[in-house]
Each structure stands twice: as structure tokens, then as C-alpha cells.
């Protein structure tokens, strides 16, 4: 089993749609969780951290479910500019700062 797993997609949605991604992780001791966004042929950029209490940033909501060992990202009112690959990132906290990136979920938002 991979340490971090994501549905690769692609997700094809119309503008204005709500779309949700899930990511599962295998190490129950993991402490830090993030969502990154990567545009085609660009470097990943932090989208948001994921806190135990859940957090929201505009149209984006991230949640953590420790019992089931998954994190989620919800995008409301999708924009064309949201088209990208969304990477789930987990820090297992087994001795330092090593982080594990999921393979990413591709999102295409269409007009």
C-alpha cells in the first residue's frame, strides 16, 4: 500500500460546480497535512494546510479525518483557473521533515 494515495482523476467539471478530492494515508502517526497545487510544467505551490479542526480559505475547504486516515479538499464554485493537479502531502513525523507527496488528482474545469 502506498503511503499516500489519491484518485488520479481526471475530474472534468463545468464552471460553477463543486468538486471534492480525497486522499488517504497509511501512517496513523502522521501529524502535518497539506494540499498543494501544481500547474502544467510548473512547480508545486502550497494551496493550504489541513488542520484537525478543518479550515476554509475562500472557495476551498480542507478537512482531516484521523479515524479513517484521510484528508479532503472541497472546491466550490469552480473557476477555469482552478484547472490543475492537486497534490496531497503528508508528513509522517518519523524522525524529521521528510514529506510524502501523493501522485496528484487532475482537475479540468470547463466553460
Q: Would you say 82 or 102 has its CB closer to other proteins?
A: 102
Task: Provide, rounded to whole angstroms, the least separation between the CB of residue 101 and other proteins.
Answer: 4
Name the residue nearer to other proteins (CB basis): 14 or 95. Answer: 95
Q: Which is nearer to other proteins, 70 or 101 (CB)?
A: 101
Q: How far is the CB of 78 from other proteins (least distance, A)?
A: 23
CB count in 10 Å sphere of residue 50: 23
Minimum CB separation from other proteins for residue 6, in Å? 9
Looking at the Cβ atoms of 18 and 49, the one nearer to other proteins is 49
| Residue 91 C-beta: closest distance to other proteins, Å | 5
Tally the C-alpha atoms within 13 A of residue 34's C-alpha that lie toward its C-beta. 16
The one-character DSSP state at 69 is T
Judged by the rule CB under 8 A, the positions of this chain that interact with other proteins are 32, 34, 42-46, 49, 87, 91, 95-104
What is the C-alpha separation between 15 and 76, in angstroms, rounded?
Answer: 10
Helices (H) and strands (E) in the chain, counts: 0, 11
Select from 24, 17, 19, 31 the least CA-distant residue to 74: 19
Amino acid at each position: 500500500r502506498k503511503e499516500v494515495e489519491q484518485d488520479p482523476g481526471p475530474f472534468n467539471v463545468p464552471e460553477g460546480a463543486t468538486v471534492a478530492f480525497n486522499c488517504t494515508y497509511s501512517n496513523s502517526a502522521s501529524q502535518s497535512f497539506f494540499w498543494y497545487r501544481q500547474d502544467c510544467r510548473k512547480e508545486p505551490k502550497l494551496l493550504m494546510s489541513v488542520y484537525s479542526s478543518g479550515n476554509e480559505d475562500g472557495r476551498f475547504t480542507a478537512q482531516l479525518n484521523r479515524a479513517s486516515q484521510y484528508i479532503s479538499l472541497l472546491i466550490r464554485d469552480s473557476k477555469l483557473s482552478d484547472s490543475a493537479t492537486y497534490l496531497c502531502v503528508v508528513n509522517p513525523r518519523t524522525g524529521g521533515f521528510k514529506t510524502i507527496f501523493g501522485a496528484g488528482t487532475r482537475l479540468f474545469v470547463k466553460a
